[in-house]
Amino acid sequence: KLNPCAGVRLPSGLKQECRELASREDVALVEAGVNLPFGLYAYMIMFTGLRDNELLALTDDDFSGDWITITKSLQWNSNVGILKAPKTENGYRQVYILPPLREHLPKWKGFLFSTDGGKSPLTQTEYRHRWNNWCRAAGLADAEIVQHRSKGKNNRLYEKTVWHNRIVPYQLRHEYATF
Instruction: Write the pLDDT tens digit of every residue in 153-174.
Output: 778 888 889 999 999 999 999 8
Work out the angle at residue 110's Cα, subtended by the Cα atoms of residues 53 and 168, and round it to the nearest 5 degrees: 25
- Distance of alpha carbon 11 from alpha carbon 1, whole angstroms: 26
Q: What is the mean pLDDT of residues 20-37?
A: 94
Task: Calculate helix-pair angle for 124-137, 39-48, nearest 10 degrees.
Answer: 90
| Among 118, 61, 54, 119, residue whose Cα is nearest residue 88 | 54
Over the stretch 85-129, which tens digit does the pLDDT of each residue have?
A: 998 999 999 999 999 999 999 999 999 999 999 999 999 999 999
pLDDT at residue 177 in the model:
81
Over the stretch 44-81, which tens digit does the pLDDT of each residue have?
A: 999 999 999 999 999 999 999 999 999 999 999 999 99
Q: Is the pLDDT of residue 3 over 80?
A: no
Q: Are 165 and 132 in contact (CB under 8 A)?
A: yes
State the first-to-last Cα distance of the chain, in angstroms, to the nearest integer: 23
Q: Are 121 and 111 in contact (CB under 8 A)?
A: yes
8: Cα separation from own chain's centroid: 28
Say whether 131 sits in a helix, a strand or coil.
helix
Percent of the chain with pLDDT over 70: 97
pLDDT at residue 19 in the model:
72
Q: Is the pTM of this model over 0.75?
A: yes
- Distance of alpha carbon 105 from alpha carbon 52, whole angstroms: 17
| Among 176, 152, 177, residue whose Cα is nearest residue 30 | 176
